[in-house]
Amino acid sequence: MTTPLTAEHNGPTATGSRPVLRVEDLRVRFSTGGRTIHAVNGLSYELMPGRTLAIIGESGSGKSVSVRALTGLLPPSAEITGSARLGETELVGLDERSLRGIRGNDIAMVFQDPARSLNPTMSIGAQIAEAVRMHDRVPKKVAIERAVELLTLVRLPAPERRIKEYPHQLSGGMRQRVMIAIALAADPKVLIADEATTALDVTTQAQIMELLVDLQERLGAAVVMISHDLGLAACYAHEVLVMYAGRAVEHAETRTLFSNVRMPYTHALLGAIPQLTTPSHARLTVVGGHPPDLASLPDGCPFAPRCPRATERCRVEMPPLEEHEPGHLYACWHPVEGPPGVGPGAAETSGRAEASGHAVAGPGGGAVPAAASPNGDTGGKELT
């Protein structure tokens, strides 16, 4: 590793530094069989070094496509427009060769299924050493030494012995540690974890998330964590971006968002959505209706057909994503009003629970996602 392990963690209050990743009006569409699928529709966000951004949303909301677009991991049928800048480098429109150089170097990705990402015929030591040598042309022996260091860093027990083992000899959690070691071999500026813990049991999920948080704080990398698990997002992310139909519909510091949800869709995800026309005790616990057809999106708010607060305006006019309260962006004409006493003040103590104290899952004393218990129960909703 060439990065000092002392890199200071830029907490939620970090304002002086520059974004490591700046995504602006990112759009991705697929043209297949005469249909055009609008998977990402004007996504914008900035990511500061040392920060963790959770992107959450139902299955098919464009989470994976939005991050794959950054690293050239989409098929040629994908048409990508807008801008995504990694430092000074514009990624949109970059040639495949340059993207390959960025992929696994400046931006590393960890996916849900480590078994498929690892080569079954190579020892894990050889695979990590290969990743080290792709980044830094050191002799093989040095690369193997680094592999042991990296496995120690990701807390794989008995790394000297384990480097000789093959993926099938490891548990799912250990394989994910190996994937993280491979990701870290290149000192990435941005680490993208796309449902990286989804396939793991609850205890291992927590261990891997804590590992990611710890490494991120020590290495100073920025993390984009894609998750269907609101509990994980609440515990481990500094900020949360909620995606619907390829757009950000709500984005704020974790505590602000969870204690002061504005967008009815987010509320629905959390399992409680006050309606304009029904008594306040009425509660929905699942997001009723179907996600929109990405091949024929409406003019207005794409959530309107499922939204109990929707009015005629919502059906004809798309609400823009705007900063309606300090640090709190949402796209809604009829935002949910917060309960008395829970206001923008909650934003003052923003940021995720400390890594070591993820039991502190009650940001700002406000509503921890009701639907997101630490055991991964999302109230029966399919959010992946």
Ligand X SMILES: Nc1ncnc2c1ncn2[C@@H]1O[C@H](COP(=O)(O)OP(=O)(O)O)[C@@H](O)[C@H]1O
Q: Give the residues lining the site for Mg ion (CB under 5 A).
A: 63-64
Report if residue 12 touches ligand X, rule: CB under 6 A. no
Candidate segments 31-39, 169-177, 206-214, 334-342, binder of ligand X by CB under 6 A: 31-39
C-alpha–C-alpha distance, residues 376 and 372, integer Å = 6
C-alpha–C-alpha distance, residues 269 and 285, integer Å = 8
C-alpha–C-alpha distance, residues 195 and 83, integer Å = 24
How many residues lie near ligand X (CB under 6 A)?
Answer: 15
C-alpha Rg value of the chain to the nearest Å: 21
C-alpha–C-alpha distance, residues 319 and 330, integer Å = 9
What's the DSSP call for residue 19? P
Whether residue 3 contacts residue 191, with contact meaning beta carbons closer than 8 Å, is answered with no
Q: Give backbone dihedrals phi and psi of 139, rounded to 5 degrees, phi first.
A: -60, 155
Partner from ligand X, Mg ion, none binding residue 60, C-beta < 5-8 Å depending on class: ligand X
Member of 10, 12, 20, 30 binding ligand X (CB under 6 A): 30
Position closest to Mg ion via CB: 64
Looking at residue 156, its amino acid is L
Residues whose CB falls within 8 Å of the CB of residue 352, separated by 6 or more in sequence, listed in order:
12, 52, 234, 235, 236, 237, 238, 254, 255, 363
195 closest CA partner among 67, 38, 27, 37: 67
Candidate segments 29-37, 165-173, 179-187, 370-378, binder of ligand X by CB under 6 A: 29-37
Report if residue 75 touches ligand X, rule: CB under 6 A. yes
C-alpha–C-alpha distance, residues 23 and 46, integer Å = 6
Candidate segments 63-71, 125-133, 304-312, 318-326, binder of ligand X by CB under 6 A: 63-71
Report if residue 64 touches ligand X, rule: CB under 6 A. yes
Closest approach, Cβ 135 to ligand X, in A, equals 27
Report if residue 65 touches ligand X, rule: CB under 6 A. yes
| Binding letters toward ligand X, positions 266-305, x by CB under 6 A | ----------------------------x-----------
Member of 21, 26, 39, 209 binding ligand X (CB under 6 A): 39
H-run or E-run covering 129: helix 124-135
**How is the beta sheet containing 21-32 ordered, strand by strand?**
35-47, 21-32, 78-86, 89-90
Partner from ligand X, Mg ion, none binding residue 41, C-beta < 5-8 Å depending on class: none
Taking CB under 6 A as the criterion, which residues in 167-196 touch ligand X?
Answer: none
Closest approach, Cβ 278 to ligand X, in A, equals 30
Report if residue 61 touches ligand X, rule: CB under 6 A. yes
Closest approach, Cβ 146 to ligand X, in A, equals 32
Candidate segments 53-61, 152-160, 179-187, 273-281, binder of ligand X by CB under 6 A: 53-61
Report if residue 63 touches ligand X, rule: CB under 6 A. yes
Question: In this complex, which beta carbon is closest to ligand X, that of residue 126 or of residue 383?
Answer: 383
| Binding letters toward ligand X, positions 99-138, x by CB under 6 A | ----------------------------------------
Member of 5, 17, 59, 98 binding ligand X (CB under 6 A): 59
Identify the residue whose tokens are 């250990």.
Answer: 174
C-alpha–C-alpha distance, residues 25 and 311, integer Å = 26
Report if residue 378 touches ligand X, rule: CB under 6 A. no
Report if residue 62 touches ligand X, rule: CB under 6 A. yes
Report if residue 31 touches ligand X, rule: CB under 6 A. no
Closest approach, Cβ 37 to ligand X, in A, equals 5
Q: Which residues of 186-196 are buried (b: 16+ CB within 10 A; e: fewer)?
A: bbbbbbbbbbb
Closest approach, Cβ 229 to Mg ion, in A, equals 13
Residues whose CB falls within 8 Å of the CB of residue 366, separated by 6 or more in sequence, listed in order:
255, 258, 259, 260, 342, 346
Write the burial class of residue 105 (CB in 10 Å: 0-12 exposed, 13-18 middle, 19+ buried).
middle
Closest approach, Cβ 242 to ligand X, in A, equals 11
Report if residue 245 touches ligand X, rule: CB under 6 A. no
Q: Which residues bind ligand X (CB under 6 A)?
A: 30, 32, 37, 39, 57, 59-65, 75, 77, 294
